[in-house]
Amino acid sequence: MRFTTFEFEGKERFGCLFDGEVADISAISGAPASLFEAIRAGKSGLEAAGKATVSAPRIPLDRIAFLPVIPRPGKVVCLGLNYAAHAAEGGREKPDYPNFFMRSATSLLGHGRPMLRPRVSQQLDFEAELAAVIGRPVPRHTPKEKALAYVAGYACFNDGSVRDYQRRTPQWTIGKNFDATGPFGPAFVPAEELPPGATGLKIESRLNGTVMQSANTADMIFPVDETIMLLSQCMTLEPGDVLVMGTPAGVGFARTPPLWMKPGDVIEIEIEDVGLLSNPVADEA
Protein backbone atom coordinates (compact mmCIF):
# COMPACT_ATOMS: atom_id res chain seq x y z
CA MET A 1 0.00 0.00 0.00
CA ARG A 2 1.12 3.53 -0.81
CA PHE A 3 -0.94 5.96 1.20
CA THR A 4 -1.07 9.67 0.48
CA THR A 5 -2.56 12.96 1.66
CA PHE A 6 -4.05 15.22 -0.99
CA GLU A 7 -6.39 18.10 -1.69
CA PHE A 8 -9.52 17.62 -3.76
CA GLU A 9 -12.26 20.19 -4.31
CA GLY A 10 -10.71 22.42 -1.68
CA LYS A 11 -10.61 19.76 1.06
CA GLU A 12 -7.79 17.75 2.59
CA ARG A 13 -8.27 14.03 1.85
CA PHE A 14 -6.59 10.70 2.64
CA GLY A 15 -6.09 8.04 0.02
CA CYS A 16 -4.12 5.20 -1.51
CA LEU A 17 -2.21 5.50 -4.76
CA PHE A 18 -2.87 3.25 -7.74
CA ASP A 19 -1.78 3.63 -11.38
CA GLY A 20 -2.95 7.10 -12.40
CA GLU A 21 -5.56 7.26 -9.63
CA VAL A 22 -6.04 7.71 -5.92
CA ALA A 23 -8.63 5.80 -3.90
CA ASP A 24 -10.31 8.34 -1.61
CA ILE A 25 -10.32 6.45 1.71
CA SER A 26 -11.63 9.47 3.58
CA ALA A 27 -14.88 9.21 1.59
CA ILE A 28 -15.70 5.85 3.25
CA SER A 29 -17.76 5.98 6.43
CA GLY A 30 -15.93 4.39 9.34
CA ALA A 31 -12.52 4.43 7.61
CA PRO A 32 -9.67 6.58 8.95
CA ALA A 33 -10.16 10.18 7.85
CA SER A 34 -6.46 10.95 7.64
CA LEU A 35 -3.08 9.24 7.56
CA PHE A 36 -2.40 10.62 11.03
CA GLU A 37 -5.58 8.99 12.33
CA ALA A 38 -4.66 5.69 10.65
CA ILE A 39 -1.14 5.50 12.06
CA ARG A 40 -2.24 6.64 15.52
CA ALA A 41 -4.61 3.65 15.58
CA GLY A 42 -1.65 1.35 14.97
CA LYS A 43 -1.59 -1.66 12.69
CA SER A 44 -5.39 -1.93 12.79
CA GLY A 45 -5.74 1.63 11.49
CA LEU A 46 -3.59 1.02 8.42
CA GLU A 47 -5.32 -2.32 7.84
CA ALA A 48 -8.71 -0.57 7.96
CA ALA A 49 -7.46 2.02 5.50
CA GLY A 50 -6.26 -0.71 3.17
CA LYS A 51 -9.60 -2.53 3.28
CA ALA A 52 -11.44 0.72 2.53
CA THR A 53 -9.63 1.06 -0.80
CA VAL A 54 -11.81 -1.74 -2.23
CA SER A 55 -14.93 0.43 -2.19
CA ALA A 56 -13.35 3.90 -2.14
CA PRO A 57 -14.11 6.16 -5.11
CA ARG A 58 -11.20 6.63 -7.50
CA ILE A 59 -10.00 10.10 -8.54
CA PRO A 60 -7.58 10.70 -11.45
CA LEU A 61 -4.28 12.11 -10.23
CA ASP A 62 -4.54 15.10 -12.56
CA ARG A 63 -7.55 16.30 -10.54
CA ILE A 64 -5.81 16.40 -7.16
CA ALA A 65 -2.99 18.35 -5.51
CA PHE A 66 -0.62 16.39 -3.29
CA LEU A 67 0.02 17.58 0.25
CA PRO A 68 2.85 16.53 2.56
CA VAL A 69 2.01 12.99 3.65
CA ILE A 70 1.82 14.28 7.24
CA PRO A 71 0.78 17.92 6.69
CA ARG A 72 1.25 19.16 10.26
CA PRO A 73 3.73 16.98 12.15
CA GLY A 74 4.24 17.77 15.80
CA LYS A 75 8.00 17.49 15.30
CA VAL A 76 10.25 17.17 12.27
CA VAL A 77 13.68 16.09 13.54
CA CYS A 78 16.43 16.10 10.90
CA LEU A 79 19.92 14.63 10.85
CA GLY A 80 22.84 16.42 9.24
CA LEU A 81 26.03 14.73 8.01
CA ASN A 82 24.54 11.23 8.33
CA TYR A 83 26.44 9.82 5.33
CA ALA A 84 30.23 9.81 5.69
CA ALA A 85 30.89 10.88 2.08
CA HIS A 86 28.57 13.87 2.48
CA ALA A 87 30.34 14.93 5.67
CA ALA A 88 33.67 14.67 3.84
CA GLU A 89 32.55 16.75 0.84
CA GLY A 90 31.71 19.55 3.27
CA GLY A 91 35.07 19.32 5.00
CA ARG A 92 33.64 17.66 8.11
CA GLU A 93 34.73 14.61 10.06
CA LYS A 94 32.43 11.64 10.50
CA PRO A 95 30.30 12.65 13.51
CA ASP A 96 30.34 10.72 16.78
CA TYR A 97 26.81 11.93 17.57
CA PRO A 98 24.05 12.98 15.17
CA ASN A 99 23.85 16.62 14.09
CA PHE A 100 20.18 17.10 14.98
CA PHE A 101 18.13 20.10 13.88
CA MET A 102 14.41 20.83 13.53
CA ARG A 103 12.13 21.75 10.66
CA SER A 104 8.80 23.52 10.91
CA ALA A 105 5.55 22.38 9.29
CA THR A 106 5.38 25.62 7.27
CA SER A 107 8.52 24.59 5.37
CA LEU A 108 6.83 21.44 4.02
CA LEU A 109 5.11 20.97 0.66
CA GLY A 110 3.66 18.16 -1.39
CA HIS A 111 4.78 16.28 -4.47
CA GLY A 112 4.39 18.36 -7.64
CA ARG A 113 4.18 21.69 -5.82
CA PRO A 114 6.84 24.32 -6.62
CA MET A 115 9.84 24.58 -4.33
CA LEU A 116 10.32 28.30 -3.82
CA ARG A 117 13.69 30.00 -4.29
CA PRO A 118 13.42 32.86 -1.78
CA ARG A 119 13.74 36.51 -2.75
CA VAL A 120 16.72 36.94 -0.43
CA SER A 121 18.95 34.17 -1.82
CA GLN A 122 19.90 32.27 -4.96
CA GLN A 123 21.55 29.41 -3.05
CA LEU A 124 18.71 26.87 -2.99
CA ASP A 125 20.16 23.36 -2.72
CA PHE A 126 18.69 19.82 -2.86
CA GLU A 127 19.10 16.91 -0.44
CA ALA A 128 17.64 13.44 -1.07
CA GLU A 129 16.53 11.93 2.23
CA LEU A 130 14.54 9.09 3.77
CA ALA A 131 11.79 10.13 6.20
CA ALA A 132 10.62 7.80 8.98
CA VAL A 133 7.18 8.46 10.50
CA ILE A 134 6.57 7.56 14.14
CA GLY A 135 3.41 5.52 14.72
CA ARG A 136 3.04 5.44 18.51
CA PRO A 137 4.61 7.19 21.51
CA VAL A 138 8.23 6.20 22.01
CA PRO A 139 9.02 5.67 25.72
CA ARG A 140 11.99 7.49 27.12
CA HIS A 141 15.24 5.52 26.96
CA THR A 142 13.96 3.01 24.41
CA PRO A 143 16.71 0.48 23.57
CA LYS A 144 17.92 0.18 20.01
CA GLU A 145 16.62 -3.38 19.60
CA LYS A 146 13.04 -2.23 20.30
CA ALA A 147 13.12 1.09 18.45
CA LEU A 148 11.83 0.03 15.04
CA ALA A 149 8.56 -1.20 16.58
CA TYR A 150 7.56 2.47 16.90
CA VAL A 151 7.98 3.33 13.20
CA ALA A 152 4.75 3.34 11.20
CA GLY A 153 6.33 3.80 7.79
CA TYR A 154 8.55 5.72 5.43
CA ALA A 155 8.45 8.37 2.71
CA CYS A 156 10.75 10.42 0.48
CA PHE A 157 11.93 13.85 1.60
CA ASN A 158 13.89 16.67 -0.01
CA ASP A 159 15.65 18.72 2.68
CA GLY A 160 15.89 21.84 0.53
CA SER A 161 18.48 24.18 2.02
CA VAL A 162 19.19 27.88 1.57
CA ARG A 163 22.93 27.58 2.00
CA ASP A 164 24.04 31.17 2.62
CA TYR A 165 21.44 31.51 5.38
CA GLN A 166 22.36 28.08 6.77
CA ARG A 167 25.93 29.33 7.22
CA ARG A 168 25.03 32.67 8.81
CA THR A 169 24.88 31.06 12.24
CA PRO A 170 26.44 28.00 13.93
CA GLN A 171 22.91 26.54 14.09
CA TRP A 172 21.44 25.42 10.74
CA THR A 173 17.82 26.17 11.59
CA ILE A 174 17.27 29.33 9.57
CA GLY A 175 18.60 27.88 6.30
CA LYS A 176 16.43 24.79 6.67
CA ASN A 177 13.10 26.46 7.38
CA PHE A 178 12.25 28.76 4.48
CA ASP A 179 8.66 28.28 3.40
CA ALA A 180 8.00 25.67 0.69
CA THR A 181 11.51 24.19 0.67
CA GLY A 182 10.83 20.73 2.17
CA PRO A 183 8.99 18.41 -0.25
CA PHE A 184 7.59 15.36 1.56
CA GLY A 185 5.85 12.46 -0.19
CA PRO A 186 4.03 11.59 -2.33
CA ALA A 187 3.63 8.15 -0.74
CA PHE A 188 3.77 6.75 2.78
CA VAL A 189 4.80 3.08 2.74
CA PRO A 190 4.03 0.99 5.86
CA ALA A 191 7.14 -0.23 7.64
CA GLU A 192 6.29 -3.92 7.23
CA GLU A 193 6.46 -3.56 3.45
CA LEU A 194 10.15 -2.53 3.58
CA PRO A 195 13.32 -4.01 5.05
CA PRO A 196 13.78 -3.29 8.78
CA GLY A 197 14.73 0.35 9.18
CA ALA A 198 14.30 0.82 5.41
CA THR A 199 17.94 -0.14 5.08
CA GLY A 200 19.58 -1.41 1.89
CA LEU A 201 17.52 0.80 -0.44
CA LYS A 202 18.91 2.84 -3.32
CA ILE A 203 18.47 6.59 -2.79
CA GLU A 204 18.98 9.09 -5.59
CA SER A 205 18.40 12.71 -6.59
CA ARG A 206 18.13 13.92 -10.18
CA LEU A 207 18.15 17.54 -11.30
CA ASN A 208 16.55 18.01 -14.72
CA GLY A 209 17.07 14.29 -15.32
CA THR A 210 20.78 14.26 -14.40
CA VAL A 211 21.80 12.14 -11.41
CA MET A 212 23.23 14.30 -8.63
CA GLN A 213 23.26 11.89 -5.68
CA SER A 214 23.26 8.11 -5.70
CA ALA A 215 23.81 5.98 -2.62
CA ASN A 216 22.17 3.38 -0.40
CA THR A 217 20.34 3.83 2.89
CA ALA A 218 22.67 1.17 4.33
CA ASP A 219 25.36 3.88 4.20
CA MET A 220 23.73 5.95 6.96
CA ILE A 221 26.07 6.49 9.91
CA PHE A 222 23.17 6.53 12.37
CA PRO A 223 20.38 4.23 11.12
CA VAL A 224 16.75 4.65 12.11
CA ASP A 225 16.85 2.37 15.17
CA GLU A 226 19.91 4.05 16.66
CA THR A 227 18.48 7.50 15.92
CA ILE A 228 15.27 6.68 17.79
CA MET A 229 17.27 5.30 20.71
CA LEU A 230 19.32 8.50 20.97
CA LEU A 231 16.34 10.82 20.62
CA SER A 232 14.40 8.87 23.26
CA GLN A 233 17.12 9.79 25.76
CA CYS A 234 16.05 13.41 25.31
CA MET A 235 12.42 13.68 24.22
CA THR A 236 9.16 11.81 23.75
CA LEU A 237 8.53 11.01 20.11
CA GLU A 238 4.80 10.98 19.31
CA PRO A 239 2.58 9.62 16.52
CA GLY A 240 3.04 11.63 13.34
CA ASP A 241 6.48 12.91 14.27
CA VAL A 242 8.91 12.70 11.36
CA LEU A 243 12.61 11.80 11.36
CA VAL A 244 14.49 13.02 8.27
CA MET A 245 17.53 10.81 8.00
CA GLY A 246 20.24 12.82 6.25
CA THR A 247 21.55 13.05 2.70
CA PRO A 248 24.31 11.38 0.67
CA ALA A 249 27.17 13.10 -1.13
CA GLY A 250 26.59 15.05 -4.32
CA VAL A 251 24.72 18.14 -3.13
CA GLY A 252 24.98 21.39 -5.05
CA PHE A 253 27.17 23.41 -2.67
CA ALA A 254 29.98 20.83 -2.84
CA ARG A 255 30.31 21.02 -6.63
CA THR A 256 32.77 23.18 -8.59
CA PRO A 257 31.30 25.60 -9.34
CA PRO A 258 28.41 25.28 -6.88
CA LEU A 259 25.15 24.19 -8.49
CA TRP A 260 22.05 25.95 -7.20
CA MET A 261 18.48 25.19 -8.21
CA LYS A 262 16.78 27.88 -10.28
CA PRO A 263 13.28 28.59 -11.60
CA GLY A 264 12.30 26.11 -14.31
CA ASP A 265 14.35 23.26 -12.82
CA VAL A 266 12.76 19.98 -11.77
CA ILE A 267 14.24 18.08 -8.83
CA GLU A 268 13.42 14.40 -8.27
CA ILE A 269 14.10 12.29 -5.19
CA GLU A 270 13.69 8.55 -5.62
CA ILE A 271 14.07 5.82 -3.01
CA GLU A 272 13.81 2.18 -4.00
CA ASP A 273 10.41 0.68 -3.05
CA VAL A 274 9.36 3.96 -1.39
CA GLY A 275 8.56 6.21 -4.32
CA LEU A 276 9.43 9.17 -6.52
CA LEU A 277 9.11 12.72 -5.23
CA SER A 278 9.24 15.38 -7.95
CA ASN A 279 8.96 19.17 -7.69
CA PRO A 280 9.50 22.09 -10.04
CA VAL A 281 11.41 25.13 -8.80
CA ALA A 282 9.97 28.65 -8.92
CA ASP A 283 10.87 32.07 -7.56
CA GLU A 284 9.06 33.35 -4.51
CA ALA A 285 6.44 35.89 -5.59
pLDDT in tens, the chain (285 residues): 999 999 999 999 999 999 999 999 999 999 999 999 999 998 899 999 999 999 999 999 999 999 999 999 999 999 999 998 888 887 888 889 999 999 999 999 999 999 999 999 999 999 999 999 999 999 999 999 999 999 999 999 999 999 999 999 999 999 999 999 999 999 999 999 999 999 999 999 999 999 999 999 999 999 999 999 999 999 999 999 999 999 999 999 999 999 999 999 999 999 999 999 999 999 999
Tell me what pLDDT residue 93 has: 81
Give me the pLDDT at residue 5, please.
98
Cα angle value 254/169/130 (rounded, 5°)? 50
Q: What per-residue confidence (pLDDT) applies to 165?
A: 98
Cα separation, 245 vs 175, whole angstroms: 17
Q: Are 184 and 271 in contact (CB under 8 A)?
A: no
**The pLDDT value given to residue 51:** 96
Nearest to 269 by CA among 94, 110, 113, 130: 130
Query: What is the reported pTM?
Result: 0.97
